Every structure is written in structure tokens, then in C-alpha cells.
Structure 1
Amino acid sequence: MMPPENKPVSELAKENGISEQTLYTWRRNLKSQGVPVPGNGKNAVEWSSADKFGVVLETARMNEAELAEYCRSKGLFVEQVADWREVCLQANAAPGELKREFREQSKSDRKQIKQLQKDLQRKEKALAEAAALIILRKKAQAIWGEPEDD
């Protein structure tokens, strides 16, 4: 039930001849001790927030080598743990910091949208002009015919 295999409880019960209730009890006991034990067949991306937080707590004091070994044993990537740690740190950021970051991101997004709208208008005008020239050329050919080669 532990990563990296992370098999569902029902599958483990069938394979090992252990009742599902016993496995659920073991899993609940491990979770109460703070050990991340999804045991639901999901990969690490689909883990619950509590399980991810448990991994962050478990790995908080590990150096790079210990973290790499831990990740190998759990079927995780070091980058995933780093991302989860960053999310945990941001969860307790001051509201003012979050608002400032949001305003800065929003401002840059508005600039980009404005630039893209200008580009789109310019391209639409060019397309309309090209379409008008094609129509005029066809009308001129219909009226005067094909140009003759001398």
C-alpha cells in the first residue's frame, strides 16, 4: 500500500489473503502517526493535500542525498517534494504579499492582453485589405479579361 507500488487496499487484500478492514486499520494507524499512506492506487500527483503535507514534514530536515533516497523509496521525484514545500510555504504567506504578487501578475497579464489585441487588429486589417485586393483583381479580370502577353 506504500509508494512506489501504492496498490489499492482491495487489490492487496486479494493478493495477500488479509481482510480489507485489517488493511484499512493499519493504514489509519500509520496516517495517525503522520506517515503518508495513500493506499488508493493513485500516483503522487493525485495524492491528497494532507498526504503531500506529510511528505513535506517528513523531508523537512533531510539533506539532498537523504531526500533523494527517500524519494526513490516512495516513488516520488525530488522536484515534486520541492513544489509541495513551496506550496506549503505560500499557503501561510501574508495576505499583503499575495495581493501584491497578484496585482503585479494581473498588471503584466493586462499588458500582454493589450499587446495581443493590437496585433490581432493589425492582422485583421491586413487580412481585410488582402481580401479586398483579391476581389478587385477578380472583378477587373471579369471586366477586361485576362491580360495578353505581347
Structure 2
Amino acid sequence: MASYSKAFKEQITKKMMPPNNQSVAQIAKETGLPYATLYTWKQNQQSKGFVVPAKKTTTDQWDSKAKLAIIIQTAAMNEAESAEY
């Protein structure tokens, strides 16, 4: 069983989060990581309150919990950072 650093896991799961919103399938194809591993990492991030969409969706399709999490995550960002986000 492979072991990955915390930094590597965070780097990969950030690809799943806004504004990237890459799917598990895309990331698995790019990196060669197993789907099960990626889904576990995704669930861990979701349980911590991060927005990791279940599938590629637009923001108007997100539930209120996901929208609140985005507001909290971006509250401390300046205008340029939030625009990039």
C-alpha cells in the first residue's frame, strides 16, 4: 500500500475543489492514483467542511451547506484572490 504525504494529498484534493472542480476520473487518469484513494481523500476533505463537489456542477446547483463553506473559505481573501478563486 502506497503512502502519500499530507502536502501531496492536499495538492491533489485542491484540484477537486473550486475553482478547478476536476473530477476524480480526470485526476486518476492524470496521476495514476486509484479511484478509491481519491474518493477517500475527497470524503476526508468534505468531512472537514471543505467544498468538494460530488460532480462537476455550477454554483447555482450547490446546496446551502456548500455555499456557506465557500463564503467562509473566501472571507479572508482580498479582491484579487477571491476573483481568482
Q: Report if TM-score (shorter chain) is over 0.5.
A: yes
Alpha-carbon displacement from aligned partner over 1:86-143 (angstroms, at most 9, x marks no partner): xxxxxxxxxxxxxxxxxxxxxxxxxxxxxxxxxxxxxxxxxxxxxxxxxxxxxxxxxx
Moved over 6 A (4+): none
| Selected match of 2:78 from 57, 66, 79 | 66
Q: Is residue 9–residue 24 contact of structure 1 (8 Å, CA) maintained in 2?
A: yes
Return the match for 2:42 from 5, 20, 27: 27
Residue of structure 1 aligned with 2:58, choices 34, 40, 43: 43
Measure how far apart 1:56 and its partner are.
Answer: 2.2
State the TM-score, normalizing by the size of structure 1: 0.40
What is the match of residue 83 of structure 1? none
Deviation at 1:10, TM superposition (A): 1.7
How far apart are the structure 1 equivalents of 2:61 and 2:72?
18
Secondary structure at 1:45 match in 2: helix
RMSD (CA atoms): 2.1
Q: Which has the larger radius of gyration?
A: 1
Taking only the aligned residue pairs, the percentage that are identical comes to 39
Greater relative contact order, per chain length (Cα 8 Å cut-off, separation 6+): 2
- Taking the TM superposition and a 5 Å limit, the aligned residue runs for 1:1-150 are 1-38=16-53, 40-60=55-75, 62=76, 66=78, 68-73=80-85
1:37-56 C-alpha deviation (Å, 9 max, x unpaired)? 11521122222322112112
Find the aligned partners of 2:79 and 2:70 in 1 and give their Cα distance: 10
Q: Distance in 2 between matches of 1:37 and 1:68?
A: 22
TM-score with structure 2 setting the length: 0.63
The DSSP-based 3-state class of the residue aligned with 1:34 is coil
Unaligned runs of 5+ in 2: 1-15
- Of the structure 1 ranges 38-47 and 12-21, higher mean CA displacement relative to structure 2 is found in 38-47
Contact conserved, 1:2 with 1:38, CA < 8 A, in 2?
A: yes
Using the alignment, how far apart are the partners of 1:3 and 1:46 within structure 2? 13
Judging changes above 3 Å, is the alpha-carbon distance between structure 1 residues 55 and 67 closer, same or farther for their aligned structure 2 residues? farther
